[in-house]
Each structure stands twice: as structure tokens, then as C-alpha cells.
Amino acid sequence: MQTPYQILDVAVDANDKAIKQAYLQQVKNNPPDRNQQRFQLIHDTYTSIKDHKSRVAHNLFTLQAADFNTILDKALHTKQVGTTVSAESFNKLLSISMDDTSLLNAFADADNT
């Protein structure tokens, strides 16, 4: 399974502009008119990492379970969360903490490190 960065052939720490350039290069080499499926993959890939917000979302989904818990702990400043977090409980936690700015900061940290 290739990562988005591999598909677009761009460095993992690349900025918005570099990612966009890599995307356009891939589009030029794989025009939608020649191979619709390939183009769709490239476009979806680009959408998944095109800006800070999408990269945060992408990173969240691809986190290792251990890292995931660390971030959650950090975000919530608590050691109460058990070692296994189900999707539902995470969802609940997220919605409870919507106005908790520390959570958002934690996400930003995750993106920068």
C-alpha cells in the first residue's frame, strides 16, 4: 500500500505549494482523458494531503494505536483513557472536546512532528 506521499512522489514534510506542484506534475503525466481511474486516484490522494487540515485528518487516520493513545492523552491532559479506544468512544470524546483548544493544539503538534 503506497502512502499519498509516495503516490505523488513528494517528501513527507513538503509544504502546500510543493504538494500542489507534485500533483500537477502527476496530472500532466496521467491526464484524466487517458486513464480516468489513475487520475481519480491521484486526485483523491492530492485532496487527502493538500493542506494542513487534510494532512492532520490523514495523519489521524493512519496513526499507530500507541501514538493514537499518546495524542489522545496529551490532548485531554488525562491518563484516564484505557489502552483500547473504540471508534465510538473516540467520536464521543472528540465531540465533547470540540471547544477544547488544547485538543486542536495537540493535532497541530502531531502535524509538525
Partner 1 sequence: MNDIIIGIDLGTTNAEVSIVENGKVRVIADGDSKMLPSFVGIDDNGQVIVGETARNQYLVYPERTIKSIKRQMGQDTHVVLAEQSYTPQEISAIILKRLKSIAENDLGQTVSKAVITVPAYFSDAQRQATREAGEIAGLEVVRMINEPTAAALAYDANQSESKHVLVYDLGGGTFDVSVVNIESGVVEVLSSHGDNQLGGDDFDQQIVDYLLAQIQDTYQVNVRAHSKAMARITRAAEEAKFLLSDQPYAQIEEEYLLEHEGVAIHLSHELSRMAYEEMIDDYINATLDAVHIALKGARFTTADIDEIILVGGSTRTPCIRERLLNEFGFEPHSEVNPNLCVTIGAAIQAAMIAGQEVDTVLVDVTPYTYGTSAIGSLDGSPYPFMYVPIIHKNTVLPSRKSDAFATSYDGQEAVEITLYQGEDPDALNNVKIGEFRVEGLLDVASGNVITLTLALDLNGMLQVSAQEKDTGLEKCIIIKNALSEFEGDALDTAKQRINSLLGQMDPRVIEDQPPEEKTGIIAPEIVAAGELISKAECLFGKVSNEDKEDMSDLIETLKNCIDAKDIQGLDDLTRELQDIIYYLES
Give the binding site for partner 1 (CB under 8 A): 20-21, 24-25, 27-28, 31-34, 36, 39-40, 43
Dihedral pair phi/psi, residue 6, rounded to 5°: -70, -40
Both ends of the chain: CA-CA distance in Å?
23
User: Which residue, 21 or 102, is less far from partner 1 as judged by CB?
Assistant: 21
User: Which residue, 36 or 78, is less far from partner 1 as judged by CB?
Assistant: 36
Residue 60 Cβ vs partner 1, minimum distance, rounded to whole Å:
21
Residue 99 Cβ vs partner 1, minimum distance, rounded to whole Å:
25
Residue 42 Cβ vs partner 1, minimum distance, rounded to whole Å:
10
User: Which residue, 6 or 35, is less far from partner 1 as judged by CB?
Assistant: 35
- The answer to whether 59 and 111 have CB atoms below 8 angstroms apart is yes
Amino acid at 43: H
User: Which residue, 31 or 78, is less far from partner 1 as judged by CB?
Assistant: 31
